[in-house]
């Protein structure tokens, strides 16, 4: 396992039971995504002052109506995609926060990166992503906000804690 994944600690004890969301560690690769990158070679860093993290999974289901099922629909899961929505404060000078904010006017390959998630049980998810900055600023008396999302761009790498120690 790559020790450059933000928050990865080979000595950490996997959590059991119910855990708060703030025990999920995440990071973004501030160098973008190169064609030579792999889940084992990337380095991620935290985006400071993130307040919310919401992981969504979208499954593509193919449907058909075969005659032999008497009118009942058959289905098969044929694809998956992941999305992570993040909300928080703009922290000028933080490498992760500055990197994400810098993408708000960019398009194409410039918005490609890697995103890592370490769950409380020490399982790791490394996702090739497209970064989309969705909101900057806020009310005149509020702290400057930064909201963004990452959408999977290809197959993620999932590493169960038992695989890391094997």
22-53 pLDDT per residue, tens:
999 999 999 999 999 999 899 999 999 999 99
Q: Where are the beta strands (DSSP E) in the chain?
A: 25-28, 50-64, 74-89, 112-118, 124-137, 145-152, 157-159
* Interval 49-103: pLDDT, tens: 999 999 999 999 999 999 999 999 999 999 999 999 999 999 999 999 999 999 9
Calpha distance 54→16 (Å, rounded): 21
Mean pLDDT rounded to a whole number for the chain: 93
User: Is the C-alpha dihedral spanning 28, 29, 35, 37 positive or negative?
Assistant: negative
Q: Is 5 exposed, middle or buried (0-12, 13-18, 19+ CB in 10 A)?
A: buried
Q: pTM of this prediction? A: 0.90
């Amino acid at each position: 396992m790559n020790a450059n994944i933000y928050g990865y600690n080979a000595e950490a004890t996997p959590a059991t039971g119910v855990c708060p969301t703030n025990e999920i560690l995440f990071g973004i690769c501030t160098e973008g995504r190169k064609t030579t990158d792999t889940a084992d070679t990337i380095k991620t860093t935290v985006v400071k002052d993130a307040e919310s993290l919401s992981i969504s999974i979208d499954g593509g289901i193919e449907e058909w109506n075969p005659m032999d099922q008497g009118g009942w629909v058959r289905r098969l899961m044929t694809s998956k995609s992941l999305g992570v929505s993040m909300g928080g404060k703009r922290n000028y000078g933080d490498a992760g926060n500055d990197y994400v904010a810098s993408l708000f006017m960019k398009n194409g390959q410039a918005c490609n990166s890697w995103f890592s998630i370490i769950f409380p049980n020490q399982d790791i998810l490394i996702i090739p992503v497209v970064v989309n900055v969705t909101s900057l600023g806020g009310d005149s008396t509020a702290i400057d906000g930064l909201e963004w999302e990452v959408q999977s761009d290809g197959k993620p790498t999932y590493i169960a804690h038992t695989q890391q120690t094997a």
